[in-house]
A and B are shown apart, each in its own frame.
Chain A
Amino acid sequence: MSEILVYSDIDGTAFELVSAAKEFAQELGATVSVALLGEGAGGKAEEYFSYGADRAYVSEHPALSDFYVGTFAEGLRQIAESGDVEFVLLGSSKRGKELAGRLAQKLNAGAITDANAVRVRDGNLEAGRYSYGGNTVASQVIATAKKVISVMPKTFELGAKEANQGEVVNVDLDLADPPVKVVERREKAGDQVNLEEAEVLICVGRGVQAKEDLAMIEELAGQLGAEIGCTKTPASDWEWFSEERMVGLSGKKCKPSLYISIGISGQIQHTVGIVDSKIIVTVNKDDKAPIFNITDYGIVGDYANVVPALNEKLKSV
């Protein structure tokens, strides 16, 4: 019976993938395995089983104590080739993405990264991902015997935990020490915002030209319980915001219930990060701004008037 092997350096993402893989496995007649790699990884097996994994390959090999892509790819290769693994599902974190290409090469496999949809089709998995900078969505299938797909976090809902027995397989991996050395880790300063989790998200674009106007937007965010994000310019050019708050192709992908864009024209590089919002509200003085095409409720007007008026109104709601 073929296996779907799940691995992510971020357990939360891996749990989502296991939850989805369990459903794919039923349709494909496959089983779900997870790779638990690194110091103390074996202790997580029970939790993975509770999300539906049938099997956990565990290695706490010392070469896996720091994540190096080549070493982890080699570990996953050995696991994938010892079992009957047809699909490898990785989380599309930065480490997951770099793993995908390296592992696929080791397995003579095709790879798809940043999938934001995966479904069963004709006994294979079909993945959707953005193409042409987000202008289109490509649906792709992998034609090789083994297949590597890295999936964006939050693509799948976390399944319910259930009592479930799984098999722990302690694997004896043959690994060399990594050729690169991590000499220091500098924690990123302060701004530990998690935009992906935000229920309400307000994003600021280059139409907001005075930094002091952020005060009214922060007031609005406070009233709505919103997080504030931004497009590329206010973060990387103006440095008003940390990169953690950049939303879009090279930033965060968010799925809030309510998204409000302020002074954002709607270039595809930003909008791919918010297209999955439930309701999109736009405030922009240019009625031809492309973002109005993907807007539910739009106000053509100067944010400097609209936002304070909205702030006043919300005080009475």
Chain B
Amino acid sequence: MDVVVCMKQIPDLQQIRIKERRPVLESVPLVWGDLDKNAMEEAVKVKEKLGDVKITVVAMGSDKLQQGILEPLAMGADEAVLLTDPAFAGSDSMGTAKVLAKAIEKIGSYDLIILAEGSTDNYSGIVASALAELLNLPEITYVRELEVEDGKVKAVRNMEESFEVIQADLPALVTVAQEINEPRLPKFMAIRKAGAKPRHEWGPDDIGLSSDEVGQNALRVETVSNLAPEQDRKNVMLGGDLAEQIDALVDALIKEGVLGR
């Protein structure tokens, strides 16, 4: 069985600083999104259970992937496809889905495709659904429990009002929720061995696209601005001893009209 996991590196969100309302991204290291690791972990669990499974990780991003890809390979992926061509840079979600779809078609055999339910930085959830449409696959999102057996998948989805138990035939595309598993931390030896696993680097030509059809040239969504929100909070720190602080707080809340409504 062939499992494909699509993952994305993001800037470490805890290290982004804001300067004059702009995010400062220089020197912020790239990391794998937590949810993307859940996706890889689930693929590895399927492999551990079923045995005869090949996992291919597909990632689009910068040349920092050369190093970064060692982590999913060490977690248990067998092979990697890297889409690091500069032509892909600046893709929006629909553009990303198109490139991933072409790469997966080139891989050729896929029974199960796993992604995060959203990327950890933007959480837009668009890529997986667009990818399922492009590959004409059944789609099961927000999955918290997954069973794969005999060409079928059974999944429990975490919806707003209920847990939905779903069955479908493979091939299918699944997106995972954070609670589905606890991603493993690869061991040092596994990371060393990961360097020897096969890697492919494909540019637009390799997957049947021209440079005009990808990245900045294929944007369907334009970002007009991207700034830290302005905030106009009062920033009053209540001083004095505890009793004075409490009195001042209650007075302030009464004045604001937010107590005793």
Q: Residue B225 at the A interface, CB < 8 A?
A: yes
Q: Is the CB of A181 within 8 A of B93?
A: no
Q: Give the contacting residue for A296; candidates B142, B222, B233; CB below 8 A.
A: B233
Q: Report the Cα distance A293→B132, complex, angstroms.
A: 42
- Interface pick from B59-67, B200-208, B252-260: B252-260
Q: Given the known inter-chain contacts A258-B259, A306-B242, please indicate yes or no for A101 contacting B129, CB distance below 8 A.
A: yes
- Interface pick from A20-28, A36-44, A107-115: A107-115
Binary interface encoding of chain B residues 209-243 relative to chain A, with 1 for a CB under 8 A from any of its CBs, else 0: 00000000001111111111101011111100011
Number of interface residues of B (CB under 8 A): 83
Q: Residue A286 at the B interface, CB < 8 A?
A: no
Binary interface encoding of chain A residues 32-62 relative to chain B, with 1 for a CB under 8 A from any of its CBs, else 0: 0000000000000000000000000000000
With both beta carbons as reference points, the residue of chain B lying nearest to A113 in the complex is identified as B124
Q: Report the Cα distance A111→B121, complex, angstroms.
A: 17
- Interface pick from B11-19, B76-84, B103-111, B190-198: B11-19
Q: Is the CB of B246 within 8 A of A181?
A: no
Q: Is the CB of A294 within 8 A of B233?
A: yes
Q: Residue B122 at the A interface, CB < 8 A?
A: yes
Cβ of B259: which chain A residues have Cβ within 8 Å of it? 224, 258, 317
Number of interface residues of A (CB under 8 A): 84
Q: Is the CB of B245 within 8 A of A104?
A: no
A interface SS class: mixed
Q: Residue A310 at the B interface, CB < 8 A?
A: yes
A253, chain B: closest CB distance, angstroms: 12
Q: Residue A279 at the B interface, CB < 8 A?
A: yes
Binary interface encoding of chain B residues 130-168 relative to chain A, with 1 for a CB under 8 A from any of its CBs, else 0: 111110001111100000000000101011111111111
Q: Is the CB of A94 within 8 A of B142?
A: yes
A134, chain B: closest CB distance, angstroms: 8
Q: Which of B158-188 contact A (CB under 8 A)?
A: 158-169, 172, 178-179
Cβ of A144: which chain B residues have Cβ within 8 Å of it? 220
Q: Residue B68 at the A interface, CB < 8 A?
A: no
With both beta carbons as reference points, the residue of chain A lying nearest to B226 in the complex is identified as A138
Q: Is the CB of B258 within 8 A of A258?
A: yes
A90, chain B: closest CB distance, angstroms: 12
Q: Given the known inter-chain contacts A200-B258, A279-B256, please indicate yes or no for A292 contacting B125, CB distance below 8 A.
A: no
B152, chain A: closest CB distance, angstroms: 10
Q: Report the Cα distance A243→B161, complex, angstroms.
A: 12
B240, chain A: closest CB distance, angstroms: 10
A47, chain B: closest CB distance, angstroms: 21
Q: Residue A270 at the B interface, CB < 8 A?
A: no
Q: Residue A141 at the B interface, CB < 8 A?
A: yes
- Interface pick from A155-163, A182-190, A203-211: A182-190
Q: Report the Cα distance A58→B247, complex, angstroms.
A: 58
Q: Is the CB of A101 within 8 A of B130?
A: yes
Q: Residue B94 at the A interface, CB < 8 A?
A: yes
B116, chain A: closest CB distance, angstroms: 11
Q: Is the CB of B120 within 8 A of A133?
A: yes
Q: Residue A29 at the B interface, CB < 8 A?
A: no
Q: Residue A98 at the B interface, CB < 8 A?
A: yes
Q: Give the contacting residue for A105; candidates B11, B130, B168, B222; CB below 8 A.
A: B130
Interface set of B (CB-CB < 8 Å, partner A): 11, 13-14, 16, 18, 23, 92-94, 97, 118, 120-134, 138-142, 154, 156, 158-169, 172, 178-179, 219-229, 231, 233-238, 242-243, 245-250, 252-254, 256-261
Known: A99-B129, A112-B221, A269-B13. 9 other contacts (CB 8 A): A69-B139, A180-B166, A184-B164, A186-B162, A188-B162, A258-B253, A296-B235, A297-B249, A310-B250
Q: Across the A-B interface, give the 4 residue pairs with the lowest CB-CB distance, nearest first.
A: A110-B220, A101-B129, A133-B13, A101-B126
Sampled A-B contacts (5; CB under 8 Å): A70-B132, A101-B97, A109-B94, A250-B178, A297-B236
